[in-house]
Chains A and B, each alone.
Chain A
Amino acid sequence: AQSVTQLGSHVSVSEGALVLLRCNYSSSVPPYLFWYVQYPNQGLQLLLKYTTGATLVKGINGFEAEFKKSETSFHLTKPSAHMSDAAEYFCAVTYSSASKIIFGSGTRLSIRP
């Protein structure tokens, strides 16, 4: 069975500081991994995804994530936080392109001025 665990329901960082949102997954087969962002009162927007190939994945808005099979992790990072990054972030996993995505419970990111 697949599952996703996001550590920390709320993360607060200062503007300009490193953003690190943690995600660990459980999958019995090679996973497809995703990070989505949800701004208030909006739908989900894909930040980045890992399917195969390079384990360091770069996404939109300066975010990136690294697939670490040995640690079953897919943590999301951004070197320097902007106020506009304040949103809810969801990590997700699936095992094929035509299967349901399992989402984590989400991490709300706040940015302090």
Chain B
Amino acid sequence: GAGVSQSPSNKVTEKGKDVELRCDPISGHTALYWYRQSLGQGLEFLIYFQGNSAPDKSGLPSDRFSAERTGGSVSTLTIQRTQQEDSAVYLCASSPRTGDYTFGSGTRLTVV
């Protein structure tokens, strides 16, 4: 596609429920990144994929967070047993090997 697509754009969920956030990177981009942006704060790195493997998942906050990437394309970030502190905007970015990062518009997650 022309850009990085994230869905849903907004998600409201009840505390304790599981959520899945989707990222469709730009076609041909080998690298994919997930970040979290909490209200009034900077961007917190979560996980990075090169192809289907995740060489750096050091930013995942807890074992409730997991992510996968299939076919070197779409990625899904899953948050299990959501907590209120998980409320944030989750941003995805993709990059070819030359290092031009393109961000999606994000998924705004609200846990009530």
Contacts and interface: CB of A to CB of B under 8 A. Distances in A.
A63 B61 CA distance: 35
A43 B103 contact: yes
B100 A46 contact: yes
Interface stretch (A21-29, A53-61, A72-80, A96-104): A96-104
B95 A103 contact: no
B99 A97 contact: yes
B50 A43 contact: no
A32 B95 CA distance: 14
Range for the number of chain B residues in contact with chain A: 20 to 34
Contacts of B50: 98
B95 A104 contact: no
Contact of A32 (B43, B91, B99): B99
B18 to A, nearest CB: 25
Nearest to B96: A97
Interface in A46-72: 46, 49, 51
A4 to B, nearest CB: 9
A35 interface: no
A94 B100 CA distance: 12
7 contacts: A44-B103, A46-B100, A96-B99, A98-B30, A98-B97, A100-B45, A104-B42
Would you list the 9 A-B pairs with minimal beta carbon distance, nearest first?
A: A97-B99, A105-B42, A103-B43, A43-B105, A44-B103, A43-B103, A100-B48, A106-B42, A100-B45
